[in-house]
Chains A and B, each alone.
Chain A
Amino acid sequence: MDKTINKSIKTTNSKPITPNAKNPRKTLSLQKQKAKMGWLFIAPFLIGFAIIYLPMIFESIRFSFNKIEIQGGGGYILNGVGWENYSNALFKDTQYVPTLLGSIKDLFLSIPAIIIFSLFIAVLLNQKMKGRAVFRAIFFIPVIVSTGIIERIDLMNSLAQIMGEASNAAAEGMETTTTGTEIISIMDIENLFRGMRVGTGLVEYVVEMANNVYDIINKSGVQMLIFLAGLQSISPAIYESCYIDGASPWETFWKITFPMISPMILVNSVYTIIDSFTSESNQVMTYIHNVYNKPGGNVQATAMSWMYFLVVIIILAIIGGIMSAYVFYQKRDT
């Protein structure tokens, strides 16, 4: 009888109703509980990653070292060929390496244009004015609408155009890619920049960018959104104190907005690289896609895209490394 009472007292003692602050074990278990809940919350991703993504990566790497044979009765057989797929892509395929280099060059040219354009537009759209909502709605249409389908149709159309001998006069203006040239005359820009004597390299660059203005606008939708979010997070008090101190808008932009938005520039550069490297309109992607659809080309395409991925990672690391040295963080602990 005594024993049971003692026992019950012991149990009640060991589990106090109010949490004991002096007892470190209790807080630890609470933390552990929360950690457990954290694991529960990210479980969907983890399970998916472990069951689908990780095996897929391994399989994909394995496929790239093999030749695949699809069996009639359902199933496939792998024949190991070592590095053949890779060496084929690098040394026998005459188009792969030039396409890769070309797209990297294009990327380096288009990143500054996209970043500058989207930052500029975000700053404009962040100001208070009449009709801001309308302009915002128009500027974000490309984010929602142009997700490859228009590009694909344009590609089809231009292919059909090349195949047909006579390009018709009525067909002009029907294509999105020519609108940029129609609106901004190349000659005008060239003349303008010739007059400014800034060197042919820059002239060519600006002319090319002006020609691709439609592409740039289409590609900078998400970047604009990210910049807008960043601009919104800058405290108005900073601007106010700047204004009181007599800074001009130009100074305010370079001394306040630009440093505060610089983390966003890093994020956007990384996003632009990823986006343009993985978009369907990318030349390398189109090329890999074509190779994939050739008979027996699927393993070849896999090998090619792994090499491509490596290149992307290296470029990301270089650009991220360089830019993060110059990024300004208001508070380092978040």
Chain B
Amino acid sequence: MDKTVSNRKAEKELLKQRKREEAIRLIRTQEKTPFWMRMKYKYLTAYYAKQAIFKIFRLLLLIGISFVILFPYYSKIAGSFMSRDDFVDVSVKLIAKYPTLDTYKAIINDNKYFLALFNTTLLSLLCGVSQMLTCAVVGYGFAKFKFKFKGLLFMLVILTMIIPRDTLQLSLFMKMRYFDIWGIVGFIKKYIFGSSEATPAIANLLNSFWPLAILSLTGLAFKNGLFIYIMRQYFNGVPDELEEAAYVDGAGVLKTFVRIILPMSVPMLVTIFMFSFSWQWSDSFYTGLFFTNKTDFVLLPDIVSIPVSLDTNYAAKEAYEAAIRNTCGLMILAPLVVLYLFGQRTLIEGVERSGITG
């Protein structure tokens, strides 16, 4: 009895062994193994199950969070195609029953969309490029040279980052309205030429590109302290031997910077440019401060209003007006999204390479 059982067991074992050997032989000889066998040896293991559960969980989580990020934009896009009747209809939630492009047309015609787009593109390009170059130069200076008071001066950079811009908005406005250098020109005008103005100055810079250009070129614009910090960290990671090789070959410091360092750090530069460009694009703090004459000089953040040609006085007035405002927001952000789609690979690469440490 016992013997037969053990025999059977042994036979079974032997069979299993043979099967496995057969499978291994088939794999070794590159012949086609039976489908189920392959599946079994590959997927029916504890290790693989653990991995699979983890992967599914991760995927679900990421998809969920992506949904949270994207859903508001989706609902806004959906709302932008709705006509007036859709907002009264209770059954309409996300997909319009009577789709229309009227909202877009009205915003483009009434709110001077293309004029605003042109102005903002010009301004953002100016600010983006100048901030990018300034922050790169200043960051390089802080990273690669030794001079007195370096730590102290870098504290000043951090200081510009910490002081809220609202703290300085009044004096910033006054500074640009009565632009002057330490009041020297005003002093000369007042006491030597006898100017009759209460506060004489070089010029009134409001309603021009000058205030933002000056701020960008001196690295004082929005979050430039952060950019300088990032660039400094990046240049700290660039090996000194590279520059030494350039010096040995007879290049000066400036030439080394322009010909070797800048081309090398294009991903970082693109990152900085994308940040400064897009933050300038949707900024309303500085533009609201410096462009007091909104009728002549339209910028994109100013176009958020209800177009005259759309009659919103209707049953679901709030919802409709909200949808129109959201459409304005979408149209402001659309060019940025296009830019982001082109630049995101470089942006993430740039951030990965930045080597920010402590």
Residues of A within 8 A of B (CB): 31, 34-49, 51-53, 55-57, 59-60, 63, 68, 71, 73-77, 121, 124, 127, 129, 133, 135-145, 147-150, 152-153, 156-157, 160-161, 164, 167-171, 173-176, 179-180, 183, 213-214, 217, 225-226, 228-230, 232-233, 263-264, 266-267, 271, 274, 277-278, 280, 285, 288-289, 292, 298-299, 301-302, 305-306, 308-309, 312-313, 316, 327, 329, 334
Contact = CB atoms under 8 A, between A and B. Distances in A.
Nearest to A183: B68
Q: Is the interface of B mostly helix, strand, loop or mixed?
A: helix
Given A42-B138, A160-B318, A229-B354, A274 B55 contact: no
B218 A56 contact: no
Interface in B316-331: 316-319, 321-323, 325-326, 328-329
Q: Which 10 A/B pairs are nearest by Cβ-Cβ distance? A: A48-B218, A38-B145, A75-B198, A41-B141, A263-B358, A42-B141, A176-B72, A171-B319, A35-B147, A305-B167
Nearest to A222: B226
A171 B166 contact: no
Interface of B: 55, 58-59, 61-62, 64-72, 75-76, 79, 86-90, 92-94, 134, 137-138, 140-142, 144-148, 150, 153, 156-157, 160-172, 174-175, 178, 181-182, 197-199, 204, 214-215, 217-220, 226, 228, 236, 253-254, 257, 274-275, 278-279, 281-285, 301, 304, 316-319, 321-323, 325-326, 328-329, 332-333, 336-337, 339-341, 344-345, 347-348, 351-358
Contact of B326 (A135, A136, A153): A153
A334 B94 contact: no
A316 B162 contact: yes
A56 B171 contact: yes
Contacts of B253: 34, 37
Contacts of A41: 137-138, 140-142, 145, 257
A127 B203 CA distance: 56
Nearest to A164: B318
Given A148-B284, A157-B322, A225 B65 contact: no
A334 B357 contact: yes
Contacts of A35: 145-148
Contacts of A34: 145-146, 253
A309 B163 contact: yes
Given A31-B146, A46-B153, A278-B165, A153 B319 contact: no
B69 A217 contact: yes
Contacts of A266: 358
A229 B168 contact: no
A127 B145 CA distance: 37
B168 A57 contact: yes
A213 B69 CA distance: 10
A129 B55 contact: yes
Contacts of A42: 137-138, 141-142, 153
B284 A174 contact: no
| Most chain A beta carbons < 10 A, residue from B67, B217, B253 | B253
B125 to A, nearest CB: 16
A135 to B, nearest CB: 5
Contacts of A136: 344, 348
A95 to B, nearest CB: 16
Contact of B284 (A74, A152, A264, A334): A152
A44 B199 contact: no
Contacts of A309: 162-164, 167
| Most chain B beta carbons < 10 A, residue from A36, A140, A263, A292 | A140
A267 B356 contact: yes
Contacts of A230: 356-357
B174 to A, nearest CB: 7
A227 B69 CA distance: 19
Given A133-B345, A161-B318, A312-B162, A44 B69 contact: no
B167 A60 contact: yes
A225 B70 CA distance: 19
Given A73-B197, A77-B198, A274 B170 contact: no
Contacts of A49: 156, 160, 218, 220
Given A145-B333, A153-B329, 7 more contacts: A38-B147, A41-B257, A57-B163, A63-B171, A183-B68, A217-B69, A309-B164
Contacts of B254: 37
Given A31-B146, A51-B181, A74 B197 contact: yes
A47 B220 CA distance: 11
Nearest to A76: B199
A170 B75 CA distance: 12
B134 A160 contact: no
A288 B218 CA distance: 27
Nearest to B257: A41
B219 A48 contact: yes
Nearest to A332: B358
A196 to B, nearest CB: 20
Contacts of B218: 44-45, 47-49, 51-52
